[in-house]
Amino acid sequence: MKKLSKLLTTAAIATGLFAGAASAEDMRIALVVKALGIGFFEAAAKGAEEAASELGGVEIIYTGPTDTTAEGQIEVINSLIAQNVDAIAVSANDTDALVPTLKKAMQRGITVISWDSGVAEDGRQMHLNPSSNPLIGNMIIKLAADELPEGGEVAVLSATTTSTNQNIWIEEMNKVMGNYPGVEVVATVYGDDLADKSYREATGLMQSYPDLDAIIAPTSVGIVAAAQAVVDAGKVGQVNVTGLGLPSEMAGAIESGASKSFAIWNPIDLGYSATMIAYHLSKGDAVAEPGASIPMGRMGEVTLDETNSGAMADPFVYDASNIADFKDIF
C-alpha cells in the first residue's frame, strides 16, 4: 500500500513537472556536459540559462553523466533523443565514440552541435571552440604589454619543450610581436608542468634578467609556480606574472599582486554562445556550412571554417575586479 501510494505520488509529480516545465511551443535545448558537478560546466549552464531567458520560449535541459565517460554520455543522449528535444549541444568525452548516437539524433531532425571539447565532423553540424590559437597567442602578449606602455623585457615560461598547445600559442604570439613595439621576449624556458621545476626556472629568469618586467606562462601549473617565485623573490610590482590560468588557482596570485591579470575562456560565455547557436540552427535562420556566420547574441557572431568549426572569442581576462566572482566557479 505504502509502495503504491509512493508510486502514484511520483507519477503525479512527474506529470506535474512535464506539464509545468514547458508549453508545447517551447524549444528544448539540451546542454550535455562531460560530467555533472564540475564548476566549469555549472557555470556554462548558467550562461545557457541567460541565453534562454534572453531569447524567450527556450527551455534548457542541463544534463550529463556522473563521471566523464563516453558511455555515460551516449546513455544521456539516447534518452534525449527519446524525449525528442530540439537541439543537443555537447562537450564530448570522446571525439569518435559519440558519433553514431549523434548521427541518429540528427536523422531524427535534432540539431547537434559540439562545444568546448569537440566531436568528429560526422557527428555534429558545427563545433564551437572557446577560442583560437591566434587569439590566444595574441592575448598572452597583450596581457603583458598592456602593463608596459613604455615597453620592456618579458620572458615565456612554458610547459614542456614538446607540448603542442603551448608551442603553437608561443608561435602565434611571436607572429604578432610587431604590434607591440618596445616589448621584447628575452627568453623562453620550460617548467615541464612541474611546480618545483617551474618555480626554479622562474627564479632563474629573474636572476638572469634583473630588468625583467613580466613572465608569460601559458600553462596553469607554470603560472601559479611563477607567481609564487615572484612573491618569494620579493619582486611583486616589478615582475608581473600573466598568461593562462584558472581563477580558483590564481586567486592567491591576484591577491598578492604577483599577477595583475591573466586569461582563460569564460565558461558562462561559452554556455551562452552554444545555446544561441543551437537556437538559431534549430530555428532554421542560420545554416552550419563552411564560411557561414552564425549570430551569438551579445558575443557577436562566429564564422565557420572548412571543418565547420569556429572560435567564440578572445580568452576572457580576469583581474582583481572580477576574480572574486569566478574563483569559486572553476
Partner 1 sequence: MTLLKSREAILVGAILLLLALVASRFPGFVTPSNLVAVFTDTAPLIILALGQMVVILTRSIDLSVAANLALTGMVCALINVAFPGVPVPVLVALALGLGALMGAINGFLVWKLTIPPIVVTLGTMTIFRGIIFLLTNGSWVNSHQMSSAFKAFPRENILGLPLLGWIAVIVTLILGLVMSRTTLGRAFFAVGGNPHAAVYTGINVGRTQFLAFVISGMLAGLTGYLWVARYAVAYVDIAGGFELDVVAACVIGGISIAGGVATVAGAVLGALFLGIIKNALPVIDVSPFWQLAISGAAIIIAVTFNSRAGRSKGRVILKSAEHAQ
Nearest distance from C-beta of residue 162 to partner 1, angstroms:
10
Q: Which residues inside 225-264 make contact with partner 1, applying CB under 8 A?
A: 225, 227-228, 232, 248-249, 251-253, 255-256
Helices 220-232 and 247-256 cross at an angle (nearest 10°) of 20
Q: How many CB atoms lie within 10 A of CB 138?
A: 20
**Member of 106, 174, 200, 238 binding partner 1 (CB under 8 A):** 200
* Minimum gap (Å) between residue 204 Cβ and partner 1: 3
Are 203 and 239 in contact, with CB atoms under 8 Å apart? no
Cβ contact 42:9 at 8 Å: no
Site for partner 1 in 146-165 (CB under 8 A): 161
C-beta separation of 129 from 299 below 8 A: no
Contacts for 168-173: CB closer than 8 Å, 24+ residues apart: 168/133, 168/137, 169/133, 169/136, 169/137, 169/140, 169/218, 170/137, 170/218, 171/137, 172/133, 172/134, 172/136, 172/137, 172/138, 173/137, 173/138, 173/140, 173/141, 173/216
How far is the C-alpha of 104 from the C-alpha of 79, rounded, in Å? Answer: 12
Taking CB under 8 A as the criterion, the residue among 144, 189, 264, 296 binding partner 1 is 189
Spatial CA neighbour of 120 closest among 156, 70, 50, 193? 70
- Residue among 171 and 255 whose Cβ is closer to partner 1: 255
Q: Which is nearer to partner 1, 199 or 279 (CB)?
A: 199
Locate 251 and state its grid cell. 586567486
- Residue 105's contacts (CB-CB under 8 Å, 6 or more residues apart) are 77, 80, 81, 88, 112
Q: In the set 97, 195, 236, 317, which binds partner 1 (CB under 8 A)?
A: 195
Cβ atoms of residues 105 and 76 within 8 Å:
no
Least Cβ distance, residue 330 to partner 1 (angstroms): 10
Task: Out of 41, 115, 190, 316, name the contact with partner 1 by CB under 8 A.
Answer: 190
Residue 120 near partner 1 by CB under 8 A: no
Nearer to partner 1, 272 or 318 (CB): 318
For partner 1, give the closer residue by CB, 238 or 308.
238
CB of 232 to partner 1, least distance (A): 7
Is 327 a binding residue for partner 1 by CB under 8 A? The answer is yes
Nearest-angstrom CA–CA distance, 174 and 255: 30
**Whole-number Å distance between alpha carbons of 257 and 246:** 16
Task: Give the contact letters, 201-220, x = binds to partner 1 (CB under 8 A), - = no.
Answer: x-xxx-xx------------
Instruction: With CB under 8 A as the rule, give the number of residues binding partner 1.
Output: 30
**Residue 34 or 124 with smaller CB distance to partner 1:** 34
Which residue of 115, 199, 316, 318 would you call a contact of partner 1, by CB under 8 A?
199
Query: Residues in the site for partner 1, rule: CB under 8 A?
Result: 161, 188-190, 193-197, 199-201, 203-205, 207-208, 224-225, 227-228, 232, 248-249, 251-253, 255-256, 327
